[in-house]
Amino acid sequence: MHQSRKECTLTLATAAPLVVVALGGNAITREGQSGTYSEMLANCQEMAASVCALREAGWRVVITHGNGPQVGNLAIQQHAGSPEVPGQPLFALGAMTQGLIGHLLQMALLSTHHQQLGPVVGVVTHVIVDRQDEAFDRPSKPIGPFYSLHEAQARSDLTGHPIVEDSGRGYRITVPSPRPQAIVEGDAISRLSKDGYLVVAGGGGGIPLVERDGTLAGIEAVVDKDRSATLLATYLEADALLLVTGVECVLADFGKPTEREIHLADAAQMREYARQGQFPTGSMGPKVEAALDFIDASDGYAVITDASSMASALGKGETPGTRIVREIRGLPRQGAPA
């Protein structure tokens, strides 16, 4: 008997495992690109094919994404347009880029893979942060384009934001990045996912809010999307957290003669690698930290890989990517020191 599309969607929703996929803002505006609409849409269309493969493999999917390059570019536009057009606060720019990137991802998903994906919906998402978070005294989140040192210093003098050297690719402006503590729309996202929707939520780490005199108000910050993805995946009781980056898997002893790929590791091994300084703050460190936080708070596992390997990295047997689990029993740790 033929199943209607709605019946298929409900079957998927009630029986399928759930994965939260965290896409980086640098994957939406890639190195060397200026961030035009057509560039970003093309990049999103490439990622949409991998998301479609996840759905075809039987996964429910919630997508979240970063916005570092985009929110920084928008801040430059805001400054250039002032005073003729008043500039908006940083948290409002986060809302704007969340809407734009959510639109791009939805367009890519709907226009390219509509029939396979079922219904797709975007949720403008807010997160609660602590106004006393030490991040407000130590801005560390890079945003916007990469500059030479001279250009970055000039930009810093203009905006008052400090700069940081970012992974050998140049210098960028930094802003506060407090830890997210709660997701305001968490229940709505959960219900939509359980009803079979592919949900795009938590973009740019979420719009940061603090409590003031019994009400909520925006605050100048950009929340790290990997931390928000961890919080969202934990809240949704996801089976897996998929952290998408620019490389297929995590490497141990990077740049040394003993360099090797890590395909399977438990939490204790990854913590030991982190203790050794294997995962720098400006590159793989935040993703490994997010993966470990998710494993500590849930019964799921985490995978770190590139966009083209997303679906296969969640498969069974030998897979690409780096899979991190709570504990490995009776199996050698791949990539572990001999």
- Least Cα distance to 229 among 21, 74, 9 occurs for 21
Residue with tokens 């400090």: 162
Among the listed residues 122, 186, 206, 225, the single catalytic one is: 225
Among the listed residues 141, 206, 321, 335, the single catalytic one is: 141
List all residues 6 or more positions away from 84 whose beta carbon is below 8 Å from its beta carbon: none
Q: Whole-angstrom Cα distance, residue 97 to residue 95? A: 6
CB 40 within 8 A of CB 29: yes
- Can 218 be counted among the known catalytic residues? no
The total of other beta-carbon atoms located within 10 Å of residue 148's CB is 10
Q: Whole-angstrom Cα distance, residue 162 to residue 175? A: 8
- Can 6 be counted among the known catalytic residues? no
- Can 316 be counted among the known catalytic residues? no
Q: Whole-angstrom Cα distance, residue 185 to residue 202? A: 9
What six digits make up the tokens of 42?
């093309």
- Can 24 be counted among the known catalytic residues? no
| CA-angle at 58, arms to 193 and 113, nearest 5° | 80
Among the listed residues 66, 196, 287, 321, the single catalytic one is: 287
Q: Whole-angstrom Cα distance, residue 265 to residue 327? A: 8
217 φ/ψ angles, rounded to the nearest 5 degrees: -145, 150
List all residues 6 or more positions away from 157 whose beta carbon is below 8 Å from its beta carbon: none
Q: Whole-angstrom Cα distance, residue 40 to residue 21? A: 18
25 φ/ψ angles, rounded to the nearest 5 degrees: -60, -30
CB 71 within 8 A of CB 141: no
- Least Cα distance to 208 among 179, 231, 232 occurs for 179
- Can 43 be counted among the known catalytic residues? no
Among the listed residues 24, 26, 68, 203, the single catalytic one is: 26
Catalytically annotated residues:
25-26, 141, 225, 287
